[in-house]
Structure formats: structure tokens, C-alpha cells
Amino acid sequence: MNDRVTGALRETFEEIADDGPPPEGLARTALSCARRSRRHRAGGAVTLALCAALAGGFAVSGVGEGDGDGQGSPALGGPVGGVVMAYSGVRDLAIEDGSPAFNYSLLLDRETGTYKRLAYRSVTPSPDGEQVLVAVGDNSGAHPNRYGVMTRATGEVRWFPDIPGNAGEGVWSPDGRRVAFRNPSKDGMITAVVADVETLRSEEVPLPDFRSGDVRMRWTPDSNGFAITLVTSQGEGSLEQASKVGYYDFAGRQRHSVPVPDASFTAAPNFSAAGQLALSGPVGGVGPLTVAVVDPQSGAVRSRFAMADTGQIVDWVGEDHLLVRTFAGHEQLQLVTLDGAVLKRFTPPDDVFAQEIRVGPAEGLPASAADLIF
Amino acid sequence: MDADLEAEFSEFVGARSHALFRTALALTGHRQQAEDLLQTVLIKGARHWPRIRSGAPEAYLRTALYRQQTSWWRSLRRRAEVATGAVPERAVVGDPTETVDLHLALRQALDRLAPKHRAVLVLRYFEDRPDSEIAEILGCAESTVRSQAARALARLRELAPELTIGDTTTQEVAR
């Protein structure tokens, strides 16, 4: 083995390992699964009851309730009209290996006000809620990734024929016509694959500023490009540093950029439906979550607040609120104003730790779903 | 496990999950599979935390990562993956993009290695472990480590002929 090959192997492993931080909530899921395993050994009745409930759809009694430590419940008034549309990528605690049933998703049935279990590892409702981007597979030869669009009314899925198996999770354009996937391309560069929902055809969009790592990408509000947080890292042990948010067109050209309030704002940008921009960070649980609402053109900070714990922005709820997800031993969802005032705290259903949580408007839900609305 | 122990476990995971995740990425080559692997191992860690916390919990979990990845069912499952795909094209000598091409070819070749072969290379060239420690982690003899490494490198050369360009060394297992 000569030095050249040894060096190439070391560098290649370093590149592979430098794919961003681990997902949040690893400890919580591990502890939940360990507790569940003990209950299994103690008799299994609880497990069976939960599985039966999940299989047939259930009303999530935990959502909308306090967190059990006296800090829950609304503080500043009634609901503002949001609801969790989907818990996507939920680890099935009954399965300890990496079988295809490893992850499932819960999707809100708006007619019944209950969550239905779906055998997709990822579900993402479209902006109008009429369609759902779904994903199966784990990028292995036996179970390659597949992405499709499910029509909510019928449950029928139309599969994209040519999305690469190693593409990241898809992001809907605000106009609901396209879906973009982060794609590590064959030449080693990061690109975006943009797929048309109507025709299912896709094309690769260059992102020449990005060569590796966890590109944090969102559509711009006009659906004509992407906003990406530019992040650098000196490797393990050094914190990621954000420099700016770049706006890119479909040719990969940077149209515009805005500064981040400081280098810890490493998360993907979050736009409201009306185009307000929320930045946040740090990613990876290395410090308490800080959020800033900034001018999307100049980057001027309009408001800024910090949470007590690590976490991430889930999404905007209307134009005046954000739903944030924090992790401090246990997961909590918190509805906050743009000044950081907490209006409501609640926890996901017991044993449900989702990789992604999707939020939508609560209009049209039956009265029985009142507890789900925040 | 009481609340204090759970908090201690959560604190440990918060502090060390990044390093463990890097190893999982090197072992699997795919973020999603790395997340699954690390989560599986952390569940075992949580279950045994009262016992392992006072020793070397990171070493326990790191060993578990390797053994989980190379366990028999994973081997069977991943073998289906390594049997597919084309041999990468050979890079042109002197090409200014040679390094990029070499790394890309290596990535593709590593994806097609058997899990145990890949694990030996990760331990040697990513973690810089001596053969004695690799043998301990993988639960085999040092001679097995050397033979697995030689086979892994030979297989890499088959899959990525770029590696043989300029390679004048015949000692397969020396570093």
C-alpha cells in the first residue's frame, strides 16, 4: 500500500464522515426504545395496545396537553390556527434492526381529525395539502429509495421515475408545482434535482458553490430558486460557521445574499407564506436555539430571541408565530411569537419521535380534533 | 433506569454523538444508513447504560457500531448492494482532476466492499488503530485482520483500477 493510496483512503473517509451533524433526538429515541423493551419483557400489553392503535389511526391525546412539569398550557390566549399535519420518519420502536419497516409516518386525516399510520419513511404535504410527497427505501440495493406524490383524496401514488437513490428529502416549492431534492451528483458535486409534480420529469440544477456536506436548502418564496445557508466547518471538534444566506437561480448563479446575524445561524432559512425570513441555529445540538427574523432583502434583524434549550424551527404558523422544537432530555414543541414569547408548549404522542414534523392550517378540522390545534 | 441516569445518558449522547456519527458515516457511506446504525447502537447503549457508564461507554458504543455493521444479517443485506453497479472508469494519468476522480472511484468502490472489509479499512485508515485493537473490536485474531485488510485492498484495486497507478509497493498490509 503506497502513501498515495493510503492518503486517498484517509481523505475519502474524512469526506464521507463530514456529512453534517447527527440528527437531533438520538438520546430520546434510544431511551424510549429501551423503556419500551423493558415493558416488552414485563408483559407486552402496552406495546400491543399502542401498535393496535397506530394500525387503525388514533386521536393523539398527548398533543395539546401540558408537558407534565407544570409549564404547559396556553399562557397568552387561544389557538392561533396551526396543527401538526404529519410526523414524518417515526422510528418504529418495536423493530431494532434496519428492516424496511424501520420508519413509518403519521399523517393527519382532516376528515376524522386522527393520525393515520402510513408505511412511508417520509411524508410531506404539499402547500395546499391536496398532495403528499412520500418516500420509501433506505438507499440500499435491496430497498432503493423511491419518491412519489400521493393524492390525498385517493391514496394513489405516482412515483418519480428518475430521482437518484441517494437524493435527500424533497422540499415542495411554495407554488406546489415542483419538488427539489439535494443530490450528491456522480462527479462529486452537490446539485439539486428539481422534479415537476405534474409530469414527474426532473432535471439537475447545478449548485457550483457546494462541493460536499449537508447543504441546507429551501425554495425562495417566488418558487424561482433556492435560498441556502452557506456553512463552513474545519472538521470534527470545531463548530460550524455560517457566513450568509445565498439566493440561487436554476442556473446555479447567486442572485443575492444576505448576511446572517452571527456565525451560529447555521440552520436552513425558513420563509413564511408571505415571504418573511427566519434564521436560526446552531444545528446539531451544540447550543441553545437562537432565532432571528430578518429582512429577506437586506438581512436587517427585525427581532431576535433565544430559547433555553437546543432545538430547531419546525415552521411558520401564519405570519406572526413560529413552531419550534426543543430538546432538553425530552422533546417539546413550543408555539412562540416573533419576540420569543411562548404561547403554548406540548409534546408529541408518547413513543413518537419524528425525524421531521410538518405543520399546516387547522381550518376544517372536526370539533373532536380541538386538542390538536395550537 | 432513573431520571438521573437518563439525564447522564442524554448528556453523553449530546457530547459524543457527532464523533460516533462520523464513524457510522465512514462505515456505511450513506447518511440515512448511518443514522439507522447509530440509533440502533444507542438503543443498546441506553439499555445497558447502568452497567457501561462507569467504564468506557464510548469505546463500548464504538465497538458496537462495528459489530452491528458487520453482523451476519447486515452482511447478507448489504451483499445485495455490493453486487450491483459498474466498475468506475479509470482516471487519466496527469489529469488535473485526478484526485477528485480517485476519491470518487474510492467512494464507489468502498460502497461495494463487504461490510467487514470496509470496517477493517475504516479502523485502519480513518481511526488509525493498530491491528491488535482492530482484532479486539471486531472480535477476531490479528492474523484475520491482516488477511481481511489484504483482501479488502485487493478488492478495492479490482473495483478502482485508479489505485494501482503509481503503486510500486508490494507489501499489501503494511502502512
Pairwise pLDDT comparison (B68 vs A138), residue with the higher score: B68
Say whether B40 and A8 touch across the interface (CB within 8 A): no
Residue with cell 420508519: A103
CA-to-CA distance for A298 and A361, rounded, in angstroms? 29
Q: What is the DSSP string of A184-238?
A: E-TTS-EEEEEEETTT--EEEEE-TT--SS--EEEE-TTSSSEEEEEEE--STTS
Report which listed range, A280-284, A323-327, A361-365, is most confident: A323-327
Say whether B166 and A26 touch across the interface (CB within 8 A): no
Nearest to B38 by CA among A71, A262, A26: A26
The residues, any chain, with a CB within 8 Å of residue A177's CB and separated by 6 or more, are A196, A197, A198, A223
- Residue among A10, A139, A141 whose CB faces B84 most closely: A141
Residue A369 DSSP symbol: G
Say whether A166 and B174 touch across the interface (CB within 8 A): no
Angle between helices B31-47 and B3-28 (to 10 degrees): 150
The residues, any chain, with a CB within 8 Å of residue B115's CB and separated by 6 or more, are B27, B69, B70, B74, B75, B78
Residue A122 DSSP symbol: E
| pLDDT one-digit tens code per residue, A154-213 | 999 999 998 887 788 899 999 999 999 988 766 667 888 999 999 999 999 888 777 665
Q: What is the pLDDT of residue A29?
A: 82
- Residue among A13, A142, A329 whose CB faces B10 most closely: A329
Report which listed range, A31-40, A124-133, A210-219, B154-163, is most confident: A124-133
Say whether A140 and B80 touch across the interface (CB within 8 A): yes
Say whether A16 and B33 touch across the interface (CB within 8 A): no
Dihedral angle of Cα A306, A308, A309, A315, to the nearest 10 degrees:
-40
Measure Cα distances from B2 to A38, B7, B8, B9 in Å.
Answer: 13, 9, 10, 11
The residues, any chain, with a CB within 8 Å of residue A279's CB and separated by 6 or more, are A229, A245, A260, A261, A265, A267, A269, A270, A291, A292, A293, A294
Q: Which residues of B touch A14 (CB under 8 A)?
A: 126
What is the average pLDDT value for chain A, to the nearest integer? 82
Q: What is the pLDDT of residue A172?
A: 95
Type of residue numbered A314: V
Pairwise pLDDT comparison (A71 vs A315), residue with the higher score: A315
Q: Are A255 and A249 in contact (CB under 8 A)?
A: yes
CA-to-CA distance for A366 and A56, rounded, in angstroms? 18
Which of residues 127 through 146 in chain A touch B, CB cutoff 8 A? 138-142
| pLDDT one-digit tens code per residue, A46-72 | 333 333 233 333 333 333 333 333 333
Residue A121 phi, psi dihedral angles, 5° rounding = -75, -15
A25 has pLDDT over 90: no
Q: What is the pLDDT of residue A149?
A: 97
Which of residues 179 through 238 in chain A touch B, CB cutoff 8 A? 186-188, 236
CA-to-CA distance for A94 and A96, rounded, in angstroms? 6
| B118-122: average pLDDT | 94
Which of residues 80 through 99 in chain B touch A, CB cutoff 8 A? 80-84, 99
Whether residue B46 lies within 8 A of chain A, CB to CB, comes out as yes
Q: What is the pLDDT of residue A285?
A: 74
Share of chain B above pLDDT 90, in %: 22
Q: What is the pLDDT of residue B136?
A: 87
Q: What is the DSSP string of B73-110?
A: HHHHHHHHHHT-SPPPPPPPTT-TTHHHHHHHHHHHHH
Instruction: Return the minimum-mean-pLDDT range out of B31-35, B47-51, B142-146.
Output: B31-35
Share of chain A above pLDDT 90, in %: 45
Q: What is the pLDDT of residue A350?
A: 75
CA-to-CA distance for A79 and A98, rounded, in angstroms? 39
**Which residue of chain A has the CA closest to B79?**
A141
Which of residues 121 through 150 in chain B touch A, CB cutoff 8 A? 121-122, 125-126
Q: Which residues of A touch B40 (CB under 8 A)?
A: 96-98
Type of residue numbered B18: H
Site from B22, B84, B107, B173 to mutate, A interface, most A CB atoms within 10 angstroms: B22
Say whether B173 and A21 touch across the interface (CB within 8 A): no
A5 has pLDDT over 80: no
| A2-7: average pLDDT | 74
CA-to-CA distance for A105 and A121, rounded, in angstroms? 6
| A240-267: average pLDDT | 91
Q: What is the pLDDT of residue A53?
A: 33
| B116-145: average pLDDT | 90
Q: Which residues of A touch B35 (CB under 8 A)?
A: 22-23
Prior bond to A282 cis, omega within 30?
A: yes
Cβ-in-10-Å burial (0-12, 13-18, 19+) of A332 comes to: buried
Q: What is the pLDDT of residue A247?
A: 93
A373 in helix, strand or coil? coil
Q: What is the pLDDT of residue A98?
A: 55
Q: What is the pLDDT of residue A61?
A: 32
Q: What is the pLDDT of residue B3?
A: 85
Q: What is the pLDDT of residue A188?
A: 65
Cell numbers that stand for B56 in this block: 468506557
Whether residue A370 lies within 8 A of chain B, CB to CB, comes out as no
B155 in helix, strand or coil? helix
Q: Are B52 and B7 in contact (CB under 8 A)?
A: no
B74 has pLDDT over 50: no
A312 in helix, strand or coil? strand
Residue A34: band (very low, low, confident or very high) from pLDDT cuts 50, 70, 90: confident
Count of C-beta atoms within a 10 Å radius of residue A73: 12
A326 has pLDDT over 70: yes
Q: Are B117 and B29 in contact (CB under 8 A)?
A: no
Torsion sign, CA atoms B23, B25, B28, B31: positive
Report which listed range, A137-151, A200-214, B26-40, is most confident: B26-40
Q: Which residues of B touch A23 (CB under 8 A)?
A: 35
Pairwise pLDDT comparison (A66 vs A307), residue with the higher score: A307
| A70-78: average pLDDT | 41
B100 has pLDDT over 90: no
Residue A232: band (very low, low, confident or very high) from pLDDT cuts 50, 70, 90: confident
Distance from CA of A364 to the nearest CA of B (A): 36
Size of interface A-B (CB pairs under 8 A): 153
Q: Which residues of B touch A165 (CB under 8 A)?
A: none
Q: What is the pLDDT of residue A214?
A: 63
Share of chain A above pLDDT 70, in %: 81
Cβ-in-10-Å burial (0-12, 13-18, 19+) of B172 comes to: middle
